Homo-oligomer: A and B are copies of this chain.
Amino acid sequence: MSELTAEWLRKSCPQIWDSLHDHPFLREMATGTLSLDRFRFYLEQDTMYLREYAKCMALGAARAARVDEVAWLRDSLDNIVDNELPRNEQLLQRVIDLGAADRGGSRGMAPTTLAYTSFLTATAYRGDALDVMTVILPCAISYREIALELVEVIAPDSLYTAWMEFFVGDFYGERLRQMQANFAELAARADDSRRGFLREQFATASRLEVAFWDMAYGCRQWPDLAVPVG
């Protein structure tokens, strides 16, 4: 492994990322056939996810070696707390107002949300700023890629446009570019054994991204909390 960059990690597990881009949830968003109920389930769970994602960034700041690393993770946290979470909550309200049914998404963390957020938290307590940056990247990168892809094909007045416009915008693009630059600077100090570990961690978080869309598409709540999809 010559250099450890976010772009390199992104290319290191193509099978996982192919199944991310091919996901029926995203294909149905593109064609406008995704049921509102499923989108509601997604937004409910994503709101719970983002709260823990933000705390994982705070832990990365707390476990950073240098003050500039603290500031990098603070900047990422700012974006979640100030932009993504309020946007998600507004969009969820709008979807509920449009008549989306509750398929169990409001009844607490579904299995994959619990798995993903627990993985982020456990990783952050065991690791440092670089470990945190590694596992938050798959979400950050894939949302940009997905949104840029969808914006080409989606009907411009779609409900889903409201969701993706943030991720195609310049603010988010610049935020992601910064994250990737910061990651590369920090990762340059990692030795080979650590790089192998980080690559595995990136793959795990990428698999959890796919699993999160699976969960949303299937409205998969715990069996005793589930509401069947109509």
A: which residues have CB within 8 A of B? 13, 15-16, 19, 51, 54-56, 58-59, 61-64, 67, 70-71, 73-74, 77-78, 81, 85, 108, 111-112, 114-115, 117-119, 121-122, 124-126, 191, 200, 204, 207, 210-211, 222-224
A-B contact pairs, 7 of them (CB 8 A): A58-B61, A62-B62, A70-B81, A74-B78, A118-B121, A121-B125, A121-B126
Asked if A62 and B59 make an inter-chain contact with CB atoms under 8 angstroms apart, the answer reads yes
Count of chain copies: 4
Measured between beta carbons, the chain B residues less than 8 angstroms from A117 are: 122
Measured between beta carbons, the chain B residues less than 8 angstroms from A114 are: 115, 119, 204
Report Cα–Cα, A81/B69, bound state, in Å: 11
Q: Which 7 A-B pairs have the closest CB atoms?
A: A115-B115, A118-B118, A58-B61, A58-B62, A121-B122, A59-B62, A118-B119
Residue of B nearest to A128 (CB): B126
Most buried by B among A56, A121, A122: A122
Residue of B nearest to A68 (CB): B81
Asked if B67 and A51 make an inter-chain contact with CB atoms under 8 angstroms apart, the answer reads yes
Q: A122-B118, A122-B125, A125-B121 are in contact. Are A74 and B77 (CB under 8 A)?
A: yes
